[in-house]
Amino acid sequence: MRRLLVSVCARGLGARVSARPAAGLCDPRRGYASDAPRNQPLSSEFVARSVGVCSMMRLPVQASPEGLDAAFIGVPLDIGTSNRPGARFGPRRIREESVLLRTVNPSTGALPFQSLMVADLGDVNVNLYNLQDSCRLIRETYQKIVEAGCIPLTLGGDHTITYPILQAIAKKHGPVGLLHVDAHTDTADKGLGEKLYHGTPFRRCVEEGLLDCKRVVQIGIRGSSMTLDPYRYNRSQGFRVVLAEDCWMKSLVPLMGEVRQQMGGKPIYISFDIDALDPAYAPGTGTPEIAGLTPSQALEIIRGCQGLSVVGCDLVEVSPLYDLSGNTALLAANLLFEMLCVLPKVTTV
């Protein structure tokens, strides 16, 4: 029977739609492993891509992180945005494009769904009229996720959301290393007099001791500025800032070798702003900057995290209003899959 059993649960992290495979879908010919009790994305060979609940990679949607090794979760918030709006619709659009993704990564040999129990936890119920309250709701939700031993992979949402996520992550792991891929450093102090918006999350994280600043690397930084030394604050904190022009026309595999050595075996968080990529590849974002990274360089960065102690990831700033082809969201979905593939317990062959 090619259908999904759908139920609504108002417990755990909040109201969620729970999609579980119906009887008969555990047949391996239909995309589910018969020898291991783990969730598997549906196979388009047997279930049409246009069928079913819109979840990340068509995974089951559940209300609680209990029993999960990793989970996708959306944070549909964009009231911290300084330019183009629309990132609140990013999680939904990324899920729609993720229908094209499959279960294994033949380029790296990663078998994420044979290694981990993964599901989609739905969205954080943010407050679109209050940024501070939204940050509280995000922080409380992520505390439940990480306390359950589940690694969150976040669909954003503007970059403000990384601040409360890191509050929850650091509460469990202590100060973490950060691989931050972005066109902007996001370490401003204020915007229009406000201390909290998508240009300030990492300064707030530094002030609260959430980051191990000697293990912070920012890659893809570029664009015009109001000063001739816009990276002084970052470097004074111990961050390594890798400008986009230092990445032009070259492989980033050697750089990631250095990053792995710098990060060591301690916990690391990956925060990937889609505007790190050149707007020719990812036009659907709030603050595009010319001359950015390429998709292949993005893959080299994420795949270069293999073997690190990754405790969480996010992909932020997808604004579908400026993404008429859907390519930005498709790229975002693929990058989130690549992040899943480098989590610590994922088997590679």
Q: Helix 131-147 vs helix 162-173: angle between axes, to the nearest 10 degrees?
A: 30
Phi-psi category of 24—alpha, beta or left, where left has phi over 0 and alpha has psi -120 to 50? left
Are the CB atoms for 272 and 159 separated by under 8 Å?
A: no
Measured CA to CA, the distance from residue 314 to residue 275 in angstroms comes to: 13
pLDDT in tens, 228-278: 999 999 999 999 999 999 999 999 999 999 999 999 999 999 999 999 999
Least confident of 43-52, 69-78, 110-119: 43-52
202-229: burial string, b at 16+ Cβ within 10 Å, e else: bbbbbeeebbbbebbbbbbbbbeeeeee
Measured CA to CA, the distance from residue 175 to residue 263 in angstroms comes to: 12
**Average pLDDT over the chain, rounded to whole?**
91
Are the CB atoms for 160 and 136 separated by under 8 Å?
A: no
Q: If pLDDT is split at 50, 70 and 90, which confidence band does 35 have? A: low
Closest C-alpha among 43, 112, 132 to residue 71: 112
Q: What domains, with CATH codes, occur in the chain?
A: 76-342 (3.40.800.10)
Is residue 5 over pLDDT 70?
Answer: no
Are the CB atoms for 32 and 25 separated by under 8 Å?
A: yes
CA distances from 54 to 62, 102, 139, 266, 325 (A): 13, 15, 25, 35, 19
Measured CA to CA, the distance from residue 223 to residue 326 in angstroms comes to: 25
Q: What percent of the chain has pLDDT over 90?
A: 89
Question: pTM, whole model, 2 decimals?
Answer: 0.90
Amino acid at 223: G
Measured CA to CA, the distance from residue 198 to residue 120 in angstroms comes to: 25
Instruction: Give the annotated binding-site residues for Mn(2+).
Output: 159, 182, 184, 186, 273, 275
pLDDT in tens, 187-214: 999 999 999 999 999 999 999 999 999 9
The three-state (H, E, C) secondary structure of the chain, written as one string = CCCEEEEEECCCCCCEEEEEECCCCCCHHHCCCCCCCCCCCCCCCCCCCCCCCCCHHHCCECCCCCCCCEEEEEECCCCCCCCCCCHHHHHHHHHHHHHHCCCCECCCCEEHHHHCCEEEEEECCCCCCCHHHHHHHHHHHHHHHHHCCCEEEEEECCHHHHHHHHHHHHHHHCCEEEEEECCCCCCCCCECCECCCCCCHHHHHHHCCCEEEEEEEEEEECCCCCCCCCCHHHHHCCCEEEEHHHCCCCCCHHHHHHHHHHHCCCEEEEEEEHHHECCCCCCCECCCCCCCECHHHHHHHHHCCCCCEEEEEEEECECHHHCCCCHHHHHHHHHHHHHHHCCCCCEEC
Instruction: Give the annotated binding-site residues.
Output: 159, 182, 184, 186, 273, 275
Q: Helix 327-341 vs helix 295-303: angle between axes, to the nearest 10 degrees?
A: 20
Query: Which is more confident, 20 or 140?
Result: 140
Are the CB atoms for 34 and 27 separated by under 8 Å?
A: yes
Q: What percent of the chain has pLDDT over 70?
A: 90
